[in-house]
Homo-oligomer: A and B are copies of this chain.
Amino acid sequence: MSWLENIKWNDDGLIPVITQEFNSKQVLTLAWMNKESLALSVETGHAVYWSRSRQKLWHKGEESGNQQIIKSIRLDCDNDALLIEVEQKGGIACHTGRHHCFYQQLQDGQWTTTEKVLKDPKEMYG
């Protein structure tokens, strides 16, 4: 697919992907895709990432049920970053059970947790 050829993959064959909630505009996660996972995301309409820690395809929500339905896919001016808008199933994007991953805010020289846990991760991943 020729549109895949426009992308500048990094030395590991990956591109960073900002995932933003379509309705709230909340930034949920920063994750990574390789060519295969991006092609699968477009084909299925569900976000599929590349897990750098597990070194395998990561079908978001396959265990937790918290899938992401893709609404749009955008590429930046340097062709080396993606922004996708999604509908977040279950309202939980973070593996800690929070709505999003950016819950540590710098306040007075300290990282302060600002978001509550909505679901026990043990329940999510059983």
Residues in B with CB closer than 8 Å to A111 are 3, 6, 75
The docked-state distance in angstroms from the alpha carbon of A11 to that of B73 is 28
**Taking the complex as formed, is A110 at the interface, i.e. its CB lies under 8 A from any CB of chain B?**
yes
The docked-state distance in angstroms from the alpha carbon of A58 to that of B123 is 44
Number of A residues whose C-beta is below 8 Å from B?
Answer: 37
Q: Which residue of B lies closest to A114 (CB)?
A: B74
**Taking the complex as formed, is A72 at the interface, i.e. its CB lies under 8 A from any CB of chain B?**
yes
A104 to chain B, nearest CB (A): 4
A contact residues vs B (CB 8 Å cutoff): 1-3, 6, 16, 18, 20, 25-27, 29-30, 42, 72-79, 81, 83, 94-96, 98, 101-106, 109-111, 114
Q: Is the interface of A mostly helix, strand, loop or mixed?
A: mixed
Cβ A81 vs Cβ B30 within 8 A:
yes
Q: Return the contact of A27 from the options B20, B95, B106 (Cβ within 8 A).
A: B20
Lowest 9 A-B CB distances belong to which pairs? Answer: A25-B25, A30-B81, A74-B102, A76-B101, A75-B104, A73-B106, A83-B102, A77-B101, A74-B105
A-B contact pairs, 27 of them (CB 8 A): A1-B109, A2-B109, A3-B106, A3-B109, A3-B110, A3-B111, A16-B30, A18-B18, A25-B26, A27-B27, A27-B83, A30-B83, A42-B106, A72-B106, A74-B103, A74-B104, A74-B105, A74-B106, A74-B114, A75-B102, A75-B105, A75-B106, A77-B95, A77-B96, A77-B98, A77-B103, A77-B104
